[in-house]
Structure 1
Amino acid sequence: MIAPLLEEGLPALGLTPPPGAVEQLDQYARLLLEKNQVMNLTAITEPEQVAQLHMLDCAALAGLCRLEGKQLLDVGTGAGFPGMVLKILVPSLDVTLLDSLNKRLDWLAETCGALGLSGIRTVHARAEERSHDPAFREQFDAVTSRAVAELRTLCELCLPYVRPGGYFLAMKSVDSDGEIAAAASAVKALGGGLERVQDYEIPGTDIRHRAVIVKKISETPKKYPRTFAKIKKKPL
């Protein structure tokens, strides 16, 4: 049920999957559903919905930004979305999956092994802390986040990781106009500029989602990000 939906859905997104990618995504989905029986990885438990609302939703990003040969960081990766999907679809992509919950990362590392993926690593850390590390700060061509946090918060957590000239891609709902407007000052303060907002339809559904694409224009001031308590109490 999963593979046929991917075989139809990926071309509908303008994507030509590399050899073996559909099989890897299918196996990834099956491993996710199997592990979800003992660990809370996803609230979506129907195979058809996993294919559409996880795999194809995340795959849409691969059609919106050139990722070949780039370094990507997925902040708050959770069960690996969108970082794992993008790695499978763009094998030359170097991917770092960052999350604050180690047991999720352990499962992702095991899954990478089962899928035969290389050029992908996991990092156990809080996003607002690790970006002050010189080995991570402004070291990535692209940073993604599918987290449910408000865009102002996500920008402060993610933009410090993006090198000037790179991009932050936030996955949002289509009713996020207010969030985007409210985040304008934060984007500017963090060294970014809103490049475009791209809505897309998930193939096989009538669901529309949105990618907010922010370009890194200049270095982020060293005082950002602040502690999470300060970010939450007083968003930029």
Structure 2
Amino acid sequence: MREIIRQGLIEMGLDKRVSPIAPEHLTRYGLMLLEKNAVMNLTAIREADDVARLHMLDCAALLGCCDFAGKRLLDVGTGAGFPGMVLKILTPSLDVTLLDSLQKRLSWLDEVIAVLALQNIRTVHGRAEECAAESGFREQFDLVTSRAVADLRVLCELCLPYVKVGGQMLAMKSTGSTEETDAAGRAVSILGGRMLPAYDYVIPGTEIAHRVVRIEKIAPTPAKYPRRFSQIKKSPL
């Protein structure tokens, strides 16, 4: 796993930009993931080489689309820590908050944070549409990431309220998401954002092409958003 990660970072031109101990820490994280996955459903990916490529390198690719150093980042629906934990390991100066609605996943992430002795990273238990109304969260982050499998219009309403004006939302999608991205234009505008050029990449060692949808926050999100999740799901913007 370690060698795949190391070579992949070189192939993406990221090896000189990340922490020198990142390959070792990402490997430890990946092995902890596989071990815990035997008793808790954290990922459908069960082979070490696939974890290295389809989780670690896939998330690492985000570093190619903007500057993360010294920024404050929120990872919405972090699950097993993707991409937030990976980005923190790669960029130690990044301040990271991992938000998820399932406490048992967060408890495991707390174990990973402790084992790797990571600083300026924390887990928060809560629902995205509820935490966004809190003053300590709303429009407080330079970067908000999401790898969740959800319609982009839904993700925008859940994520953009957290982004400070001048910051960016980064949604991990497939390169086949052009129609979905186009359909989200109205939601982006209503929520105070504007589309930036997407960032496309191929995961090293694979032929899998992915896309980071980038949205810049140019105005505050109206106070009535996000709505209750049932409304967001039933009537996307």
Match of 1:196, SS? coil
Give the C-alpha shift of residue 64 in structure 1: 1.1
- The alignment's TM-score, normalised by the length of structure 2, stands at 0.98
Structure 1 unmatched ranges of 5 or more: none
Equivalences for 1:18-167 in 2 at 5 Å? 18-167=19-168
Give the C-alpha shift of residue 81 in structure 1: 0.1
Q: Deviations over 1:32-61 (max 9, x none)?
A: 000000000000001010000000000000
CA–CA distance in 2 between the matches of 1:140 and 1:148? 22
- Structure-1 residue corresponding to 2:11: 12
Q: Deviations over 1:134-158 (max 9, x none)?
A: 1100000000000000000000000
Q: Deviations over 1:143-184 (max 9, x none)?
A: 000000000000000000000000000000111011001000
CA–CA distance in 2 between the matches of 1:130 and 1:94? 18
Structure 2 unmatched ranges of 5 or more: none
- Structure-2 residue corresponding to 1:175: 176
- Structure-1 residue corresponding to 2:230: 229
Runs (4+) of structure 1 exceeding 3 A deviation are none
Give the C-alpha shift of residue 62 in structure 1: 1.2
Match of 1:19, SS? coil
- Aligned residues with identical type, % of pairs: 63
CA–CA distance in 2 between the matches of 1:172 and 1:8? 24
CA–CA distance in 2 between the matches of 1:62 and 1:117? 19
CA–CA distance in 2 between the matches of 1:21 and 1:175? 31
Amino acid at match of 1:192: G
CA–CA distance in 2 between the matches of 1:185 and 1:11? 38
